[in-house]
Structures are given as structure tokens and as C-alpha cells.
A and B are shown apart, each in its own frame.
Chain A
Amino acid sequence: MMILLLAGLQAISKEIQDAAKVDGATGWQGFWQITFPLMLPISVTTIVLRIIFQLKLADIVINTTSGGPGGASDTISSFIFREYRDRSNVGYGTMVAEVYLILIIIFVTLLLRFVSKYMQKTQ
């Protein structure tokens, strides 16, 4: 994710910064009024990608706490995985997986719609 941000930062041309400096902007002003707005699309993309990736989080939970204590640290993915592996509850696990898939489709559709509306407003 940092790579995406770094690539975005390098894509902003130095001349814009220099122009701002010539016009008398301080470092902070240059950041907030030039760099930050220009970076906004990339930042939003990064955040959305991050959210989507974290919805799939399972391996860290399984290996550090295996959902414990008492299921307190389960994500849905790790819960389904443990349902398959530890309790051999294939039917229940598959049903949870299907419901999760539907929920994720709804959530991500709403998220993307919100983000694209927001981006149109800023541009």
C-alpha cells in the first residue's frame, strides 16, 4: 500500500510545488493545498483497497489466537475456516460463507458508489 502512495507522490510533478513556493506558500500550505488534493484519488483508492483486503483477514487470526478467547477475536473468514477444520461443520460453514459473500457484495457496492460520488464532487 505504501508503494501505491509512493508511486502517486512521484507522479506529481515538481513544477507545481515550485510554483506554489514562488507564490509564497509555506511547506504546510504547499502540502495541504497542493499535494493533498492531488493525492486524494490515490489515497481514497488505497483506503478502499485496504478495507477490501482486511475483509478477507483470516491467517493471522487463526495462527495467533485461533479465534480465542471464546471466539472474541474471530473474523468471519477465520470463523468459517475453523468451522471447516476444527468442527468439521461443512454445511454450516458453507452457509455462513454464502451469507458473508452476499453481505460483502452489498457492502462493497455501497462503498464504491459512495467513493465514486465523493470523487465526482471533489473534481
Chain B
Amino acid sequence: MPEKLKKPLIYAALIMWTIVALFPIFWTFSTTFKVAKDVQLGNIVPWLQYKPSWLGLRALGLSPDTIWTFSTPRDEFIKRFWNSIQASIGGASLALVIGSIAAYGLSRFEYKFGTWRNKDISFFFFSQLILPPVVLAMPFLVLYKELALLDTIFGLILIYALSVLPIVIWIMRDQFDTIPVELEQAARVDGCTTWGAFIKIVLPIALPGMVAAFILSVILCWNEYFFAALLTSTNAKTLPVMVASQTGSQGISWWSMATLASAAILPLIIIGVFLERYIVKGLTAGAVK
């Protein structure tokens, strides 16, 4: 192949793939501005095939002409959005605190549990990833009912922390493994306690990995639908459940569903664009082995 043709061809292939990858997101955003007929006909190009309208945003009370008036759907949307933020950030923070300590222990100390050694304990944590959440659905429902945690944000935070804990431990353990043990020994010689060495020396060095683990956990919790649908009803319902429940008696209101979905992916897009560098940096430091 001649050199001259090579570059345009590569770029053409890349642009093609970009369009394929981004089309669903574009579709979601554009459906926000469609009326029912355009959704059913599959009109795609704005202004040429259909006239954009504020239907989706008006249904949520967010369009320019209704933003200052009272709107019940908007109040509900804000409540769900806030619920989602609380649940995902709370769950990720809790998992990060517990997971970092567990990973530090696994990386620095020798444990014995029957015939189990550190490697087996790590694999035990990791094996929680394999467990399908649907297996735990009924036990958790009964347990939460007994503990009166049903339909509370705190309950969601607990279960989200549980479900992202394996990933946090996995990333943080590899992160701690890359930090030379001599640094802590030097700190211990200088009079730090084990906890002091951990907090003052190891944590600042492991910060990129912690950021990566935190962001990944927030994203996973944000997208979590299954437990949110099962364990919440009116009070603590999160955004994904609200998106899925836009099927009224008059058919599915695609525009408000699309608006909600756009609002749900917007924070993730912002995180992805601005913090992608930190995620990759944190993972490159040794999480992939």
C-alpha cells in the first residue's frame, strides 16, 4: 500500500468506528427533542427529518419556558438524582476505606486461616465478583426487611459497598505491592506506628490508585440497577430505576425516558473526559497482572 493512502485510510476506519460507538449516545440525546411520531418513524437527522421540540425537557419541567414554574416531575427527578449521588459516592467511599485497609493487610502481612494463605484469601475476595447478584436477591430482601433497611439510602450504600469491594481490594492490593516496603521500615525506625506509617507514608503514594478505584466504584454504583430496583420503592429510588419506570399507561414516553437517560449519563461523561487520565495512571501502576 502506498504511504500516501495509508493515513487517510486509517483515519477513515477510525472515524467509522467512532460513529458506530457514539451513535447510541447521540440517539439518546436527540430523542430528548423528538415527538412520538419521529421516535416511531426513526427520524435521525435534526431539522432535516424532524423539527426539534422541548417535549422531553418540558415533561420534566426543565425546558426554558417551564424552568421557573412549579413542577412535580422535576422535584422527583432532582430527588432521584440526589439519591443516586448519595448512594454511589457513599458506597464507593465506604468500599474504599474498608478495601484499602484490607488490601494493605493482604499486601504487607502474612495471614493464616486454616490451610489458607494470603493468596487464597485474595482469591476469596475476588471470587465475590463471580457471584451473580440475583442469587443474593431473596436473602437480602428478607434481611433488609428484618433490619428495617428496606427503601433507605443507608441500605443501598451498604450493598453497593459490598458489591464494589472486590474490585477495590484487587486494585489497591496491586497498588500497595508496587510500593517498596523499605519506605515504611524507614518510617517505623523514625518512630511511626504501623497506623502512622500507613496513613502518612503509604496512602499519599497510593493516591493515584485510590482515585482510580474510587472513580471505577462510583461508575459501577451509579449504573447499578438490580439491587436498586429490588430494595427500594418510593423513598430511596435511584435514577436508573426511574429511567426504567417511564412506561406509563399510554405507552412508553420515549422523550422523558431519553431526557432522564441523558441526565444519568452526563455525570459519567464528565468523569470520563476529565478523569480518564487518572484512571489509566492508577491502573498502569500495577493493577493489571
Contact B130 A52 (CB under 8 A): yes
Contact A7 B135 (CB under 8 A): no
Roughly how many angstroms separate A94 CA and B140 CA in the complex, as a whole number?
Answer: 12
Question: Is B59 close to A, CB under 8 A?
Answer: no
Contact B132 A59 (CB under 8 A): no
From B132, B229, B240, B288, contact of A56 by CB (8 A): B132
**Which A42-89 residues have C-beta < 8 A from chain B?**
42, 45, 49, 52, 55-56, 58-59, 63, 76-77, 80-81, 84
In order of increasing CB-CB distance, the 7 nearest A-B pairs are A7-B283, A59-B225, A77-B134, A56-B132, A97-B135, A7-B284, A80-B134
Which of A16-24, A29-37, A98-106 lies at the interface?
A: A98-106
Contact A11 B288 (CB under 8 A): yes
Q: Which residues on the B side are within 8 Å of A40 (C-beta)?
A: none
A29 → chain B, closest Cβ, in Å? 15
Q: Which residues on the A side are within 8 Å of B226 (C-beta)?
A: 58-59, 81
Contact A93 B138 (CB under 8 A): yes
Closest to A111 in B: B130
**Which B247-289 residues have C-beta < 8 A from chain A?**
276, 279-280, 283-284, 287-289
Roughly how many angstroms separate A11 CA and B130 CA in the complex, as a whole number?
Answer: 27
Contact B280 A7 (CB under 8 A): yes
Q: Which residues on the B side are within 8 Å of A94 (C-beta)?
A: 138
Contact B134 A3 (CB under 8 A): no
Q: Provide 26 A-B residue pairs closer than 8 Å at the C-beta atoms, listed in order of the A residue.
A: A3-B279, A3-B283, A4-B288, A7-B283, A7-B284, A7-B288, A8-B288, A10-B280, A52-B129, A58-B132, A58-B226, A59-B225, A59-B229, A59-B240, A63-B225, A76-B134, A77-B132, A77-B133, A81-B134, A81-B137, A90-B138, A97-B132, A100-B132, A100-B135, A101-B131, A101-B132
Number of A-B contacts (CB under 8 A): 73
Residues A6 and B280 in contact in the complex (CB < 8 Å), given A52-B129, A56-B132: yes
Closest to B131 in A: A101
Q: Which residues on the B side are within 8 Å of A10 (C-beta)?
A: 280, 284
Question: Is B25 close to A, CB under 8 A?
Answer: no
Contact A104 B288 (CB under 8 A): no
Roughly how many angstroms separate A8 CA and B131 CA in the complex, as a whole number?
Answer: 26
Roughly how many angstroms separate A7 CA and B132 CA in the complex, as a whole number?
Answer: 27
B232 → chain A, closest Cβ, in Å? 14
From B132, B230, B240, B276, contact of A104 by CB (8 A): B132
Q: Which residues on the B side are within 8 Å of A3 (C-beta)?
A: 276, 279-280, 283
Contact A104 B244 (CB under 8 A): no
Q: Which residues on the B side are within 8 Å of A93 (C-beta)?
A: 138
Closest to A90 in B: B138
Question: Is A108 close to B, CB under 8 A?
Answer: yes
Q: Which residues on the A side are within 8 Å of B132 (C-beta)?
A: 55-56, 58, 76-77, 97, 100-101, 104
Q: What mask results when residues 129 to 160 of chain B are scored 1 for a CB within 8 Å of chain A, else 0? A: 11111110110000000000000000000000
Q: What mask results when residues 48 to 62 of chain B are scored 1 for a CB within 8 Å of chain A, else 0? A: 000000000000000
Roughly how many angstroms separate A59 CA and B131 CA in the complex, as a whole number?
Answer: 16
Q: Which residues on the A side are within 8 Å of B230 (C-beta)?
A: 81
A108 → chain B, closest Cβ, in Å? 5
Residues A84 and B135 in contact in the complex (CB < 8 Å), given A7-B280, A59-B225: no
Q: Which residues on the A side are within 8 Å of B279 (C-beta)?
A: 3
Roughly how many angstroms separate A56 CA and B244 CA in the complex, as a whole number?
Answer: 19
Roughly how many angstroms separate A58 CA and B227 CA in the complex, as a whole number?
Answer: 11
Roughly how many angstroms separate A98 CA and B135 CA in the complex, as a whole number?
Answer: 7
Contact B135 A4 (CB under 8 A): no
Roughly how many angstroms separate A10 CA and B286 CA in the complex, as a whole number?
Answer: 11
Q: Which residues on the A side are within 8 Å of B225 (C-beta)?
A: 59, 63
Q: Which residues on the A side are within 8 Å of B276 (C-beta)?
A: 3
